């Protein structure tokens, strides 16, 4: 594994590669409809990728639903690369980027299986469990 590069998306090619990662993780692994996974919010979102050399192995997007608030969505890492700290570095990268943009609060909808991961990064539960695309989730948030 080459040195990993965490960066904001700079080209349509990188965005297409991010979509491939999301399709593999969410559509193929989790059975979420591709129509739901790829939506109109992608054109408005800030996207990041994690690259292993030239190949994209992870991604996330961020929406800005209101002034000073960011919502992390669609964080995905290819199966072979999970458990290596990449998700933690994605969160660190995003939080630093959002601080630079004067964001005061970050929210997300965590799949229930990932709640402990987000808690370890300072996120707190802010809802009761709910189903989103037939997967149990919790709304979580943290101040910056």
Among the listed residues 136, 139, 89, the one whose alpha carbon sits nearest the alpha carbon of residue 109: 139
Average pLDDT over residues 1-24: 92
pLDDT of the residue at 76: 97
Q: Is 29 helix (H, G, I), strand (E, B) or coil?
A: helix
The pLDDT, as a whole number, for residue 2 is: 55
Residue range 17-25: average pLDDT? 97
**What is the structure's pLDDT at 35?**
86
Beta pairing partners, 138: 110
Question: Tokens 């994605």 identify what position?
Answer: 90
pLDDT tens-digit map of 98-117: 999 999 999 999 999 999 99
Q: What is the CB neighbour count within 10 angstroms for residue 128? A: 7
- 142 near 103, Cβ under 8 Å? no
pLDDT digits (tens, 9 = 90+) for 22-70: 999 999 999 999 888 989 999 999 999 999 988 999 999 999 999 999 9
pLDDT tens, 70-104? 999 999 999 999 999 999 999 999 999 999 999 99
CATH class entry, domain 4-143: alpha beta
């Amino acid at each position: 594994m080459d040195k990993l590069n965490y960066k904001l998306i700079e080209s349509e090619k990188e965005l297409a590669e991010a979509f491939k990662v999301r399709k593999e993780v969410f559509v193929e692994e989790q059975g979420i409809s591709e129509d739901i996974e790829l939506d109109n919010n992608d054109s408005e979102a800030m996207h990041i990728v994690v690259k292993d050399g030239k190949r994209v192995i992870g991604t996330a997007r961020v929406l800005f639903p209101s002034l000073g608030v960011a919502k992390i969505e669609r964080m995905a890492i290819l199966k072979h690369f999970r458990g290596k700290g990449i998700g933690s570095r994605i969160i660190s990268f995003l939080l630093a980027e959002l601080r630079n943009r004067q964001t005061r609060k970050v929210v997300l909808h965590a799949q229930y299986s990932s709640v402990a991961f987000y808690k370890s990064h300072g996120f707190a539960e802010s809802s009761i469990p709910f189903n989103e695309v037939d997967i149990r989730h919790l709304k979580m948030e943290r101040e910056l």
